[in-house]
Amino acid sequence: MRILVVGGSGFLGGEIVRQAAAGGHVVAATYLSNPGPPDLAGWRPLDLRDRTAVTETIRETAPDVVVNAAYRQSDWPTTADGAAHVAAAATGRRLVHVSSDAVFSGAAVTYAEEAIPDPVYPYGAAKAAAETAVRAVDPTAVIARTSLIVGDGGSPHERLVHSLAGGAPGILFTDAVRCPVHVRDLAAALLELADSDRSGIHHVAGADAVSRHELGILIARRDGLDETRLTPGRCADVGFTGPRDVRLDCAQTQRHLKTRLRGAREFVA
Ligand SMILES: NC(=O)c1ccc[n+]([C@@H]2O[C@H](COP(=O)([O-])OP(=O)(O)OC[C@H]3O[C@@H](n4cnc5c(N)ncnc54)[C@H](OP(=O)(O)O)[C@@H]3O)[C@@H](O)[C@H]2O)c1
């Protein structure tokens, strides 16, 4: 397959590029600020906010599959409008769009694919708007909602734990719960979904619901850090009003995947 990874220079995008190249696919990938390894993909600069540039990139790379893993948390034009630009330009090609558990408020705690988004902050609203745009433009697209993405080091969550264990000020919430996923499991699942006849919303997160503090402790133990330096705290302590407990129910999606979506207690151990 010819695969275009939009946001291939990011944490998840980079792993998709690696796995797609290792699988023998012809890979093109985009970046905004820094290209990735030249041996793995043909790299192209792309700003998703530029609709014409998105259209040209997809026309010129002529991919069978487009995976959109690009976003900027605080930038609606990238996260929402940019996703719409990709969906419109990818018409007639297989599209996998990466979304987030941030589309949910946490009021219901556990969410299956059928749940209606009820975002409570701008990033979640932008991801929900992106989903709506993608579904409207291409009902056959896969929209893959995921949760905290962790690896074997290198993710922002792992970097935060290292910095807190090193004495930086801050707390890790005991009442903010997510279903972290390993970046390798997630990338493999997305490539599987790309190569399937699945369409619509899919939940692709890890099997364990853990608090940010428990995740921090797991990472600290794995990396030999002093876990006693990770200060537990509650969202209310710092006036955090975003989603607290959001768990993606992935059972339905897992049934269609060969890739096993491991839980954090297993993959960080
Ligand atoms: N990280 C998580 O824990 C998490 C949790 C739930 C869902 N997600 C979803 O997973 C996906 C990937 O997340 P990630 O953590 O891998 O993100 P990331 O590491 O921050 O990578 C973001 C990518 O988007 C690119 N980008 C940013 N602004 C752009 C723009 N205006 N035009 C084109 N490209 C732009 C970046 O390019 P440069 O790096 O070259 O600037 C980078 O390639 C996103 O859809 C996110 O919503 C992530």
Output the CA 7–ligand 1 centroid distance in Å: 6
Nearest CA to ligand 1 atom 20: 10
Nearest CA to ligand 1 atom 26: 70
pLDDT at 144: 99
Which is the closest atom of ligand 1 to the Cα of 101? 6
pLDDT at 81: 98
Give the chain's domains with CATH numbers. 2-147+183-203 (3.40.50.720), 150-178+208-247+262-267 (3.90.25)
- Tens-level pLDDT at each residue, the chain (269 residues): 999 999 999 999 999 999 999 999 999 999 999 999 999 999 999 999 999 999 999 999 999 999 999 999 999 999 999 999 999 999 999 999 999 999 999 999 999 999 999 999 999 999 999 999 999 999 999 999 999 999 999 899 999 999 999 999 999 999 999 999 999 999 999 999 999 999 999 999 999 999 999 999 999 999 999 999 999 999 989 999 899 999 999 999 999 999 999 999 999 98
- pTM for this structure? 0.98
Output the CA 244–ligand 1 centroid distance in Å: 22
Cβ count within 10 A of residue 15: 25
Side-chain-side CA neighbours of residue 133 (13 Å): 22
pLDDT at 269: 86
pLDDT at 241: 87
Nearest CA to ligand 1 atom 17: 10
Output the CA 71–ligand 1 centroid distance in Å: 4
Identify each DSSP E strand in the chain by its residue range.
2-6, 26-31, 42-45, 65-68, 94-100, 110-111, 142-146, 149-150, 172-173, 177-178, 181-182, 200-203, 210-211, 232-233, 247-248
Output the CA 36–ligand 1 centroid distance in Å: 14
Output the CA 73–ligand 1 centroid distance in Å: 8
pLDDT at 79: 98
Query: How many residues can be counted in the chain?
Result: 269
DSSP state of 115: P
